[in-house]
Structure 1
Amino acid sequence: MNQAAQHVQQLNPYAIALCATGRWIASRHWVPATGGNFSIRTGEHSALVTASGKDKGQLSPQDLLPVSWQQGPLQCDGTPSAETALHARLYQLDHQIKAVLHTHSVHSTVFSRLLPGTEHLLTGYEMQKAIRGQHSHEDSCPLTVFDNTQDIPALADAVAERWQQVQTASALLVRGHGLYVWGQSLEDAKRHLEAWEFLIHCELERIRLTGHV
């Protein structure tokens, strides 16, 4: 057993919980074709993250890799998801974040391509209250949209530049790519994911019926 596998085994409670959540997400068809990636914080400067190219519907602790950023550049014994740098930046931006979930659902991907600007404002939905900091359907909840890029460090820098705006929703949307959510626990992140998928689906239906974005 290599050092990375031994470390994952030692962190079994974290690994088991993240894998169970990942399989639940896959059952909703939100991470097709090995897409998406998940992580859970294990320390101030470390996390477990899904390895690249793994079927999320069959996720097991052996499919998770420990990553660290304490010494600056990401350190990992293995090939983590290509978007690991963005996960790490989110953890650095807010030390209360304990889990990050990234999905490629049809609804969020299509919705992201319909939005003309860099922000979409939601209001009037009772389900907004499932998002941390939202207390009423009358609140305004901005979902920040970023253009897709294969340069993940550049995307991470863009998110950091707009962090005050981004953190309000505990989520961000990458155009033509998918949704990122996070939370102060894995359960928190899972609730945010389900709430945002619901809200995005509602907005798609509203656009379909009214013709207005």
Structure 2
Amino acid sequence: MVCNCSHSAKQDESGAAKLPESESDSLILSDDPNHPANLICELCKNFYVNGWVTGTGGGVSIRDGDKVFIAPSGVQKERMLPENIFVMSLNSKKYLREPISLKPSSCTPLFLASYDLRGSGGCIHTHSQNAVMCTLLFDDVFEISHVEQIKAIPRITEAGYLNYNDKLVIPIIENTNFEQDLEDPLKEIIKKYPGTTAVLVRRHGIYVWGETVWKAKIYNEAIDYLLELAVKMKLHGIPTVK
């Protein structure tokens, strides 16, 4: 639910409301750099520098127990502030905190799918050009094998990580006009591919999740490396699967 009431709130140049101290603000204001609201801001800046979340695209979410922290829609990622963060109860799916004048991210249902279906602790969505290009070069799934960086990706259905000679498979779903409409296709593909920690969206980007947000970050970085390498291999006529 988006608040449409008239409030007096200061805004920065990005249009993000800066809220006064309140009970709900206690959910996102902390001196701890590892607090989810602070981490989301740090990661958004990091991903902006990498070119993965240009404009206001992409997003990050972190789960802490029953609380889900979500970057908002429409705020430039490199200027994200803890005051901009939405907080939701995972159990009730109701917002515990809604920043004034900001809209919830349309990625929210997709983030929740990773929490509900995989018990993940963090989910990252980027508009990486490497991800988009691979959805144009591969059909139903992205595949790559015999690359050292594959060893950073977990097996999911069993303990440990993939080996050098294993094949990494990431499913691809079709894009929609409205991001929230990706919820059902994403849920279906997660169930169909129980060993995946990511889903590519054709001509759009990628969703990556992990046991913690730091694991999600590692997986996202490793996968983007492999996506970029696969694009170069395709350009040189080299098969991505040996």
1:85 aligns with 2:122: no
> What is the match of residue 7 of structure 1?
27
Please list, as runs of the form range in 1=range in 2, the aligned pairs for 1:33-52 lying within 5 A after superposition: 33-44=55-66, 46-52=67-73
Query: SS of 1:204's equivalent?
Result: helix
> What is the match of residue 135 of structure 2?
112
C-alpha contact 2:135 2:142 (8 A) present in aligned 1: no
Please list, as runs of the form range in 1=range in 2, the aligned pairs for 1:39-188 lying within 5 A after superposition: 39-44=61-66, 46-71=67-92, 74-75=94-95, 77-78=98-99, 79-95=103-119, 97-115=120-138, 117-133=139-155, 134-188=161-215
The structure in which a higher percent of residues are helix is 1
Question: Take 2:191 and 2:145, find their aligned partners in 1: how far apart are those partners?
Answer: 19
| Alignment-mate amino acid for residue 199 of structure 1 | L
Question: Take 1:47 and 1:27, find their aligned partners in 2: how far apart are those partners?
Answer: 25
Query: SS of 1:162's equivalent?
Result: helix
- Residue 30 (structure 1) shift: 0.9
- Residue 17 (structure 1) shift: 1.8
- Residue 4 (structure 1) shift: 4.2
1:194 aligns with 2:200: no
| Alignment-mate amino acid for residue 206 of structure 1 | M
- Residue 162 (structure 1) shift: 2.5
After TM superposition, the structure 1 stretch with the greater mean CA deviation from structure 2, 185-194 or 126-135, is: 126-135
Query: SS of 2:28's equivalent?
Result: helix
| Distance change in 2, residues 1:3/1:151 (3 Å) | farther
| Alignment-mate amino acid for residue 29 of structure 2 | Q
> What is the match of residue 3 of structure 2?
none
Question: Take 1:173 and 1:3, find their aligned partners in 2: how far apart are those partners?
Answer: 38
C-alpha contact 1:144 1:165 (8 A) present in aligned 2: no
> Where do 5+ consecutive residues of structure 2 fail to align?
1-19, 156-160
Please, what TM-score do these two structures have when normalized by structure 1? Answer: 0.88
Structure number with bigger Rg: 2
| Alignment-mate amino acid for residue 20 of structure 1 | E
- Residue 151 (structure 1) shift: 4.5
C-alpha contact 1:172 1:181 (8 A) present in aligned 2: yes
Question: Take 2:227 and 2:207, find their aligned partners in 1: how far apart are those partners?
Answer: 13
Q: Percent identity?
A: 25
- Residue 153 (structure 1) shift: 4.8
Number of residue equivalences: 209
- Residue 77 (structure 1) shift: 2.5
| Distance change in 2, residues 1:103/1:180 (3 Å) | same
Write out per-residue CA displacement over residues 98-118 of structure 1, whole angstroms, 9 at most, x where no aligned residue. 110100112211221222x22
Question: Take 1:8 and 1:174, find their aligned partners in 2: how far apart are those partners?
Answer: 31
Q: 2:44 aligns with which of 4, 11, 22?
A: 22
